[in-house]
Amino acid sequence: METRQFGHRARLALSPALALKADDQAHAARTVWNLLHAWWQMMPKEKRTLADADAAIRQARRDVDFLAVLPAQAAQAVLKTYFQAWKNCWDGRADAPNFKARFRSTLTVDVPQGRDLNIVRVHRRWGMASLPKIGRVRFRWTKDLPVGKQAGKENRITGARLVKDTLGWHIAFRVQTLEKAPETHQGPEVGIDVGITVPLALSDGETYKHGQWLTNREQARLLGLEQRAAQRKKHRKPGERTSRRLHHTYDQIAGLRARAKRRALDWQHKTTTDIARTYSVAVVEALQITSMVKSARGTIEEPGKNVAQKSGLNRSISGQAWGRTVTMLTYKLARQGGTLAKVPAPGTSRRCSACGLTTPGSRETQALFVCKNSDCAWSGNADHNAARNILHLYRMGLALIPAAGRAVARRAPRVKPATAR
Residues that bind Zn ion (CB under 5 A): 352, 354-355, 371, 373, 376, 378
Minimum CB distance to Zn ion smaller for 163 or for 354: 354
Q: Smallest gap, in angstroms, from Cβ of residue 353 to Zn ion?
A: 8
Minimum CB distance to Zn ion smaller for 281 or for 352: 352
Contact at 8 Å (CB) between 118 and 106?
no
Closest listed residue to residue 55, CA positions, set 71, 39, 69: 39
Minimum CB distance to Zn ion smaller for 79 or for 355: 355
DSSP 303: B
What is the C-alpha separation between 60 and 40, in angstroms, rounded? 14
Phi, psi of 381 (to 5 degrees): -65, 135
Minimum CB distance to Zn ion smaller for 293 or for 354: 354
Q: Smallest gap, in angstroms, from Cβ of residue 304 to Zn ion?
A: 29
Phi, psi of 198 (to 5 degrees): -125, 145
Q: Smallest gap, in angstroms, from Cβ of residue 195 to Zn ion?
A: 20
Contact at 8 Å (CB) between 209 and 197?
no
What is the C-alpha separation between 269 and 325, in angstroms, rounded? 8
The secondary structure element, H or E, covering residue 129 is: strand 126-131
What is the C-alpha separation between 338 and 278, in angstroms, rounded? 10
Q: Smallest gap, in angstroms, from Cβ of residue 109 to Zn ion?
A: 58
SS3 228: helix
What is the C-alpha separation between 331 and 237, in angstroms, rounded? 51
Q: Smallest gap, in angstroms, from Cβ of residue 358 to Zn ion?
A: 9
Query: Which amino acid belongs to residue 217?
Result: R
Please give the C-alpha separations between residue 138 and each of 105, 299, 307, in angstroms, as whole numbers. 25, 49, 45
Q: Smallest gap, in angstroms, from Cβ of residue 183 to Zn ion?
A: 39
Minimum CB distance to Zn ion smaller for 131 or for 382: 382
Minimum CB distance to Zn ion smaller for 105 or for 373: 373
SS3 269: helix
Q: Smallest gap, in angstroms, from Cβ of residue 373 to Zn ion?
A: 5
Instruction: Please list the residues that pair with 369 across neighbouring strands.
Output: 363, 380
What is the C-alpha separation between 217 and 364, in angstroms, rounded? 36
Phi, psi of 341 (to 5 degrees): -120, 150
Minimum CB distance to Zn ion smaller for 352 or for 387: 352
Minimum CB distance to Zn ion smaller for 311 or for 373: 373
Q: Smallest gap, in angstroms, from Cβ of residue 369 to Zn ion?
A: 9
